[in-house]
Amino acid sequence: MNLHSLRIVVDTNVLFEGLTKKDLASSLIIEAWLARELQIAVCEALALEYVDVLSRKLSPQRWLQVEPVLQALLIRAQFVPIYYSWRPSSPDPADEHVVDCVQNANALLITWNTSDFRQARQSLHLRILTPPEFVAWWSTMQTFIEE
């Protein structure tokens, strides 16, 4: 994987954790996204899922605080049109748009739910890392580039 050309799709569970908990791998990913250190790919369905999940799961007060941050993240994302679909590729139909986004963006998926994407990993060769795996790889790549 090349650090400069790598596109990433951030699953909603990583976004949620990154916006609600500090000093974790997910929050480091969100901070790097805000700082434009990562190329994040998002499709329309995933952006709508971000809004839906955060607005439902956060208290109204917390949502008011998080919404501008989400808007800033989405402004920094590259929106990917979905030209092709690989359905069914997940046991959870709600994850199909994530697979479509990853495949159409030729991206890496960062998620906590790797088992939900096992079928897509096997059949489509989807590249998947958990947040700690990605942060470890990313920090190694940054160190290598700096040397």
Report the pLDDT averaged over residues 108-132.
Answer: 91
Name the more confident of 140 and 19.
19
Q: CA geometry: angle at 102 spanning 100 and 103, to 5°?
A: 65
Name the more confident of 50 and 23.
50
Is the Cβ–Cβ distance between 84 and 103 less than 8 Å? Answer: yes
Report whether pLDDT(91) > 80.
no
- Which residue type, as a one-letter code, is found at position 30? I
Report whether pLDDT(104) > 90.
yes
The answer to whether the pTM exceeds 0.85 is: yes
Tell me the average pLDDT of the chain: 89
pLDDT interval class at 92 (50, 70, 90): low
Report whether pLDDT(73) > 90.
yes
Report the pLDDT averaged over residues 62-71.
Answer: 97
Rounded distance, CA 2 to CA 27, Å?
A: 22
Domain ranges of the chain: 7-146
Report whether pLDDT(88) > 90.
no
Which residues is 7 bridged to in the sheet?
A: 39
Report whether pLDDT(1) > 60.
no
Burial class (CB in 10 A: 0-12, 13-18, 19+), 69: middle
pLDDT interval class at 122 (50, 70, 90): confident
Query: 113: which 2 tokens?
Result: 């739910």
Rounded distance, CA 147 to CA 130, Å?
A: 26
For β-strands 39-42 and 127-129, DSSP reports them as: unpaired
For domain 7-146, the question of CATH label 3.40.50.1010 is answered with yes
